[in-house]
Amino acid sequence: MTSQSLPKLSLAFFTFSCLLSLSVAARATPNFKVRAVSLGGWLVTEGWIKPSLFDGIINKDLLDGTQVQFLSVKQGKYVSAESGGGTIIVANRTSASGWETFKLWRVSETEFQFRVFNREFVGLQNGTTDVVAVSTTPGESETFQIVRKSDDMNRVRIMASNGFFLQAKTQDLVTADFESNNTTWGNDDPSVFVMSIVGTMQGEFQVTNGYGPLKAPTVMREHWATFITEPDFQFISSSGLNAVRIPVGWWIASDPTPPPPFVGGSLEVLDNAFTWAEKYNVKIVIDLHAAPGSQNGYEHSGSRDGSQEWGQSDESIQQTVAVIDFLASRYASRPGLLAVELINEPLAPGVTLDSLTKYYQAGYDTVRKYTTSAYVVMSNRLGPMDPQELFPLASSLQGVVVDVHYYNLFSSIFYSLNVQQNIDYVYNNRTSELNYVTTANGPLIFVGEWTAEWRVSGATKEDYQRFAAAQLEVFGRASFGWSYWTLKNVRDHWCIEWMIQNGYIAL
């Protein structure tokens, strides 16, 4: 090596080092581990987090997506959509299952549409009194009024659009031609049914449509203004947390006039959150928690009746990319923005890997139009899937994080575990799961949801402390960090604010 070659070698090494630094900087672990909390139940409603939000709704047990079954007191049999839909309604079933279950679409406080197993709606056939389930788009003839007995709310009569009540004339003939408005509600009345509620939903669609267009704006804006406030960000910062994960719904991109029944005003609240976060040096992960058509059918996805339709058409994907474009363009320049999570908990197999990969690539490209520094978070699918299935895409891109959710809940394997077995599961199984998704050239890993709640009854404070400490230790090894679910919750152990204030969690 001659002295003349040193400048060229140094220049080449300098150039290589710069390129390597740029590449690594885009993929490397952040200069701090994310210790976040999700602000669940704030801008995307989840009724179990704050049940009182629904208290002012008339017939609040009959919201969109409520699953009901009807037993004819005269026939002693359940009403059913024959063949699951597409033909007549009968009352000849001795037990109730899917075909005997109807999902409500709420039209008003007392008016509803009934969606059957195959997704058609109950209605009157061609102006007759015959009751069928053939329409895929509900209208006036598919709208019914539920009249409840004043001293027994489960005993009902159902009025059709023609002004007559439904009656089970025989087990194989349900018609809308019972004329009398007077009834003793006795078991000899073919227009009387016993209604059983077998499933409920309490999400954003349910609360806004439940209150209706006149009341919902006031209720929601009061909730947004009081549930999470500036002092909460001060508490987050002072408690050792350094980030928040904020769930938002797709309708925020249409603020201030989102499509009904959603209510405008949440965008201003998100703006305020950025101001507060930046004031207290807290970073923000914007999490698209509810996508158009629903990516998982759960109430937290903004679903009306539990149907999962996101990703089944290019239109829903394009609409979601447009939401990401709106959010990224609005907040890319804000110093508080840490990451954009493209979608929360898509559910397999309804959401296919092909459609999700297509969306994630488009969503990533959209975020990168506005920022190269914000991380792009891609949530793993729930359900049957390989936890590394996103790696071919994620590993080829810069600044990508894969979000995994770990709960010692929601599976039968946790039903019988005691305190120590739950803790051992965290140290052994969760460590193995994290190791599997943590690879040298792969994406960063974010435990985007976990909680210190479990299925153990009679656990002591020390038991909860040990369980929380185990998860903090194991999830603290995740290359991107973790986020607790949630900041506030009426259920104490789901509420990290309560857990910290009462000495259950030490950060």
Task: Kindly report, residue by residue over 480-497, the tens digit of the pLDDT.
Answer: 999 999 999 999 999 999
CA distance 129 to 81: 16
Reported confidence tier of residue 9, pLDDT bands at 50, 70, 90: very low
Question: Which pLDDT does position 113 carry in this prediction?
Answer: 98
Token pair listed for 223: 């909730």
| Residue that the structure tokens 């209605």 belong to | 123
DSSP H helix total and E strand total for the chain: 11, 20
Across residues 163-169, what is the average pLDDT? 96
Using alpha carbons only, how large is the chain's radius of gyration in Å?
Answer: 26
Model confidence at 8: pLDDT above 90: no
Across residues 290-304, what is the average pLDDT? 97
Between residues 317 and 12, which one has the greater pLDDT?
Answer: 317
Please give the C-alpha separations between residue 216 and each of 47, 200, 271, in angstroms, as whole numbers.
15, 20, 21
Question: Which pLDDT does position 173 carry in this prediction?
Answer: 94
Distance, CA of 458 to chain centre: 30
Model confidence at 180: pLDDT above 90: no
Beta strands at 243-249 and 283-290: parallel, antiparallel or unpaired: parallel
Cβ-proximal residues to 40 (8 Å cutoff; 6+ apart), any chain? 46, 49, 247, 300, 485, 486, 487, 489
CA distance 102 to 439: 47
Asked if 49 and 498 touch (Cβ cutoff 8 Å), the reply is no
CB atoms within 10 A of CB 222: 11
CB atoms within 10 A of CB 351: 24
Between residues 109 and 17, which one has the greater pLDDT?
Answer: 109
Question: Which pLDDT does position 468 carry in this prediction?
Answer: 97
Token pair listed for 346: 């898509």
Asked if 112 and 67 touch (Cβ cutoff 8 Å), the reply is no
Across residues 6-32, what is the average pLDDT? 42
Per-residue pLDDT tens over the stretch 326-382: 999 999 999 999 999 999 999 999 999 999 999 999 999 999 999 999 999 999 999
Secondary structure element (H or E) that encloses residue 162, with its range? none
Please give the C-alpha separations between residue 240 and each of 39, 218, 235, 281, in angstroms, as whole numbers.
16, 34, 9, 11
Reported confidence tier of residue 181, pLDDT bands at 50, 70, 90: confident
Reported confidence tier of residue 411, pLDDT bands at 50, 70, 90: confident
Report the DSSP beta bridge partners of residue 71. Answer: 78, 194
CA atoms within 13 A on the CB side of 214: 4
Q: Which letter does DSSP use for residue 62 in this model?
A: S
> Rounded to the nearest 5°, which phi and psi values hold at 476?
-65, -15
Distance, CA of 140 to chain centre: 30
Question: Which pLDDT does position 28 carry in this prediction?
Answer: 54
Q: Crossing angle of helices 230-238/266-279, nearest 10°?
A: 40
Per-residue pLDDT tens over the stretch 103-124: 999 999 999 999 999 999 999 9
Asked if 489 and 41 touch (Cβ cutoff 8 Å), the reply is yes
Asked if 29 and 400 touch (Cβ cutoff 8 Å), the reply is no
Model confidence at 436: pLDDT above 60: yes
Reported confidence tier of residue 16, pLDDT bands at 50, 70, 90: very low
Q: Crossing angle of helices 266-279/204-227, nearest 10°?
A: 40
Model confidence at 27: pLDDT above 50: no
Residues of the chain with pLDDT > 90: what percent? 91
Among candidate residues 80, 65, 199, the one with its CA nearest the CA of residue 133: 80
| Residue that the structure tokens 């300098």 belong to | 14
Across residues 380-394, what is the average pLDDT? 96
Reported confidence tier of residue 24, pLDDT bands at 50, 70, 90: very low
Cβ-proximal residues to 477 (8 Å cutoff; 6+ apart), any chain? 431, 434, 438
Across residues 273-281, what is the average pLDDT? 98
pTM, two decimal places: 0.91
Between residues 9 and 119, which one has the greater pLDDT?
Answer: 119
Please give the C-alpha separations between residue 187 and each of 73, 144, 272, 284, in angstroms, as whole numbers.
5, 22, 58, 59
Across residues 18-30, what is the average pLDDT? 43
Secondary structure element (H or E) that encloses residue 273, with its range? helix 266-279
| Residue that the structure tokens 């998704």 belong to | 437
Question: Which pLDDT does position 29 carry in this prediction?
Answer: 61
Of 13-17, 212-216, 386-390, 407-411, the poorest mean pLDDT is in 13-17
CA atoms within 13 A on the CB side of 394: 26
Across residues 52-56, what is the average pLDDT? 98
Model confidence at 271: pLDDT above 60: yes
Model confidence at 143: pLDDT above 90: yes
CA distance 16 to 14: 5
Instruction: Using CB atoms within 10 Å of the CB of residue 377, give its burial: 0 to 12 exposed, 13 to 18 middle, 19+ buried.
Output: buried
Reported confidence tier of residue 182, pLDDT bands at 50, 70, 90: confident
Residues of the chain with pLDDT > 70: what percent? 94
Across residues 440-460, what is the average pLDDT? 95
Mean pLDDT over the full length of the chain = 93
Question: Which pLDDT does position 31 carry in this prediction?
Answer: 79
Distance, CA of 376 to chain centre: 19
Across residues 301-327, what is the average pLDDT? 96
| Helix, strand and coil in the chain, % to nearest 5 | 35, 25, 40
Model confidence at 55: pLDDT above 80: yes
Reported confidence tier of residue 172, pLDDT bands at 50, 70, 90: very high
